[in-house]
Structure 1
Amino acid sequence: MSVREVYTSTASNPLGRPRGFWSALHLDPVLLILLTALIIGGLFVLYSGADRNFDVVKAQAIRFGIAFVVMLVFAQLDPSVFRRWAPWLYAAGLAGLVAVLLVGVGAKGAQRWLALPGLPRFQPSELMKLVVPMMAAWYLSRHFLPPRLPRIGMSLIVVLLPMALIAVQPDLGTALLVGMAGLFVVFFAGMSWRLISAFAVMISVAAPVLWFFGMRDYQKQRVLTLLDPQSDPLGAGWNIIQSKTAIGSGGFEGKGWLQGTQSHLEFLPESHTDFIVAVLAEEFGFIGMLVLLSIYLLIILRCLFIAVVAQDSFSRLIAGALTMTFFIYVFVNIGMVSGLLPVVGVPLPLISYGGTSTVTLMAAFGILMSVHTHRRMISA
């Protein structure tokens, strides 16, 4: 066998084994099994949360089918493709966010959607959950790591610009998710703890200014409601009070599937979207929540493993950032529903009813699988 043939063989199959089914599809079977278990379980909870409306479950299953196709397509692409296209996607995303402010479609007091002729209505901000960490990883991976202060400053501009455009829509929840996704890239690139402490102090000093000049009245009300839900039990505090009641009433084993009273008697608002975890806790109790959190933990650990074994800086940064963004989804939603965080409208990943966020998350997992299955052996 020639040197060229040996190199080609090891490049396409670094472990020297016959190419298997999962390798041919560029899918990670461990991650795929965990995601499938989460989605199937989520559909059962959704059926109860939607008050036994099978049409809602059917629509969500169709969305999951589309999301799986998107994940499969993203998994086929080499990470170098994402690196090469990152600046162009970032520019397109910024143009979309500006277009939303100028000609966007409004609903419920927010202007977040674009309706282009011949295309379904979509949110450019969802695209930025993937593009912002991709762009930050592209920029930082082109230079020596850990980055120096000027590089960190430029990276923060890359992150904060789309974050600000999303916040003025207004969509504070999505803006925070986009910002965290980008900041995780900067953190994983090797940002020193001294700088992290300095930024934390700056944020603390700027918090009063943000409260008086940067936050809208309904956003302030969410924070005040978090601190004292009983101040307005029939108004702003209703959601948190009913959610905590549902979670507490589930006990250790829960009331049983389809037996929850808070959701089926319509005490619990948004029971099939943002507050669906309260439905799960009421019907399956502590055991059900433990199973859910265990699956989430295994998914996060598997994704972190993929990030650790990635063989170039761009892949490590984007994989780590997307993994921690998924963690933030879980942490914020469960914290919000249990009354530990303000209500910001973040769905429970792959459980809550919704299409755009589901496709975005599965696209992120497609990128992670791409990073893991396109590794090459580094010769000595």
Structure 2
Amino acid sequence: MVWWTGRSLRPRRPHSSRLAVELQRASLVNVKLKWVKDRMLDSVVSRERHLRPALHLIERISADPRGQAPAQELSGRRHQSEIATFMRRFPTIFHETSSPSTGGPWFALTDAACLLRHRELQILREMESDLVDRLRRLLMMTVARALPLDTIDQLRWDMGLPPCYPESLVPRYPTFFELVQPPGDERVWLKLVSWDPGLVVSELQRSSAAQGRGELVEECLAFPVRFARGFGLKRKCMEWLREWQTLPYTSPYADASGLDPRTDVSEKRNVGVFHELLHLTLGKKTERKNVSNLRKALALPQKFTKVFERHPGIFYLSEKLATQTVVLREAYGTGRELICKHPLIDIREEYAAIMRDASPLDVRCRRTSLISK
């Protein structure tokens, strides 16, 4: 991992200072860096192909007081035969039964899945304060200190939020959160009630302080940069990146209304916003489309997601699973495993391991199906 650092500047001085004025005059440098495939980080994304829908079904079945549920109720917008086929692929997770009343397939969780689900719920209870703090920090990054629930729902998997968090989690913290419905808006919003100065220190500031690279507030911080193997950086791009790293770092929790969006200083702030946002997620990644509705909330300019393409040493854009997923490179070091794992990630990996452990009968059935095709 490479750090580009430069002389110490003071990014948190008022923008009216001479230094800030000079920096604001610098226009956004038009630099385009090529995209290079990273197989390690692609595998990080692709290994969750079946995990996410499976855990969604596990949540619904475990919450059912009957201890099982019919495929018809679990199908949602999909046809029940499609859901049933999916669940039959993983007999180590889902146990199929039948109901005399409907005759259709019903599914319960296997003993192994029930045990793992019990551990998952226990970790959710134990780590609830961590989850609440990350949710508060997300709201603190926004201009209005609030977000619509449907926008937060897009990040639910990535942040590890329980399925019914507005009813189960939010009411337990009235000093932190409030559900509101603004006039003329049909959506329900989650609003931050109180501001906590102790939470508005970004991960980049924390890591910089921990490694002795200066004070939390005053230091001009550089992002950790690492390129994929085979990535060639032209000299002019290298020089631009070195200079860009020496620009003032604006905290994603600070008021950025004084920044000119047409400058590299503003772009560094945008990179810092997504750097912090990805640190709030469990897997340090999220789908690119999940952040599309955050532009106004985070005071970002038009075409703000171009920072992912302009900074491939900080972010990696994976195109696996028919979508684009933004991955924070520094979180994975040089491999495919997170350097610092949240306990819920360990549980998800155990689910994935059980799902891969298909029964011999299931394997034979799939082989027969492939041969017949």
Bin for the TM-score computed over the shorter chain: under 0.3
Q: Which has the higher strand share?
A: 2
Q: Which has the higher helix share?
A: 1
User: Which protein shows a greater Rg?
Assistant: 2
Normalised by the length of structure 1, the TM-score is 0.25
